[in-house]
């Protein structure tokens, strides 16, 4: 994580071409997982980091969330859609985006959605798979359409845009929006587990918090990303045993 207090000294000691601030990713995941919580993005911190980078001519990559939209338009949101947050976290994240781009117009702000593929399996995909055995899966199957995004694909795309000199808002998600129940089914089948029971479904709803991009460069399809994620999970125990 980027420490805005230490950043001036860090940049003075070792001038950087770019700074990557992933601070928003874990907080966004928590806000997505517990939509009734009182999570808020740190608006001033994001703006301060952006201003420091602009002051020394360093590029900045920051991450934001699909929660800047309320999902009530019935379709996936694109970059030019006006923000319409429905909760405290989404409103604070929208303000944080504006603060970052106001302080550093050349910053790249990557909005993403349900990120999965963390090494410790503490993301939604890991928790969904763990929930199959504990009986706690139901709380993850919220009634909305989402854009699950594989972390390695997100990092590859974001760094590619940063290296290409892109700036402003970009939506970076794997192609192929789905319901939470559909995501759970994809994961279980890819992992070689039994398909969830037919009656184990989230109720119908019209919320669509998926993201799409009008700027191009979509990430690889979700189906392939889930397959790669499942294969990586199978390899992980073997690597740990070898170590």
- Is 241 part of a structural domain of the chain? no
Highest mean pLDDT: which of 14-28, 114-128, 193-207, 217-231? 217-231
pLDDT digits (tens, 9 = 90+) for 182-207: 888 888 888 887 766 554 555 555 68
Contact assessment for residue 85 and residue 70, using Cβ atoms and an 8 Å cutoff: yes
Report if residue 31 sits inside a domain. yes
Structural Rg of the chain based on CA atoms: 18
Task: Report if residue 21 sits inside a domain.
Answer: yes
Domain that holds residue 224: 7-236
Residues in the chain: 243
Is the CB of residue 79 less than 8 Å from the CB of residue 43? no
Q: Is 229 helix (H, G, I), strand (E, B) or coil?
A: helix
Is the distance from CB of 59 to CB of 108 less than 8 angstroms? yes
Q: How far apart are CA 56 and CA 12, in angstroms?
A: 9
How are beta strands 59-65 and 178-179 bridged, if at all? unpaired
Tokens matching residue 187: 């994961």
Task: Note whether residue 174 is domain-resident.
Answer: yes
Q: What is the domain count for the chain?
A: 1
- Which two tokens mark 70? 């309320």
18 has which bridge partners?
59
In this structure, what CATH number is given to the domain that contains residue 12? Answer: 3.40.50.720
Is position 199 within any domain? Answer: yes
| Residue 243 maps to a domain | no
Does residue 82 lie in a domain region? yes
Residue 140 lies in a domain: yes
CA atoms of 92 and 113, how far apart (whole Å):
16
Per-residue model confidence as pLDDT tens digits over 53-104: 999 899 999 999 999 999 998 899 999 999 999 889 999 999 999 999 999 9
Q: What's the CA gap between 224 and 242, in Å, rounded?
A: 27
Token output for 29: 């995941």
Secondary structure letter of residue 237 according to DSSP: H
């Amino acid at each position: 994580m980027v420490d805005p207090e230490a950043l001036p000294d860090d940049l003075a000691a070792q001038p950087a071409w770019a700074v990557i601030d992933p601070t928003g990713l874990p907080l966004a995941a928590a806000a997505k997982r517990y939509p009734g919580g009182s999570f808020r993005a740190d608006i001033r911190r994001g703006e301060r980091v952006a201003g420091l980078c602009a002051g020394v001519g360093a590029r900045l990559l920051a991450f934001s969330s699909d929660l800047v939209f309320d999902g009530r338009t019935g379709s996936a949101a694109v970059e030019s859609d006006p923000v319409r947050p429905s909760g405290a976290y989404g409103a604070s994240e929208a303000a944080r985006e504006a603060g970052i781009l106001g302080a550093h117009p050349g910053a790249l702000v990557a909005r993403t959605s349900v990120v999965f593929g963390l090494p410790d399996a503490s993301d939604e995909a890991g928790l969904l798979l763990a929930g199959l055995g504990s009986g706690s899966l139901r709380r993850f199957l919220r009634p909305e359409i989402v854009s699950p995004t594989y972390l390695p694909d997100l990092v590859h795309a974001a760094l590619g845009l940063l290296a290409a000199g892109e700036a402003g808002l970009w939506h970076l998600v794997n192609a192929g929006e789905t319901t939470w129940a559909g995501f759970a089914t994809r994961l279980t089948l890819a992992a070689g587990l039994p398909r969830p029971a037919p009656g184990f479904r989230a109720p119908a709803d019209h919320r669509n918090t998926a993201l799409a991009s009008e700027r191009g460069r979509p990430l690889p399809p979700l189906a392939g990303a889930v397959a790669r994620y499942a294969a990586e999970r199978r390899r992980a125990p073997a690597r740990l045993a070898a170590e």
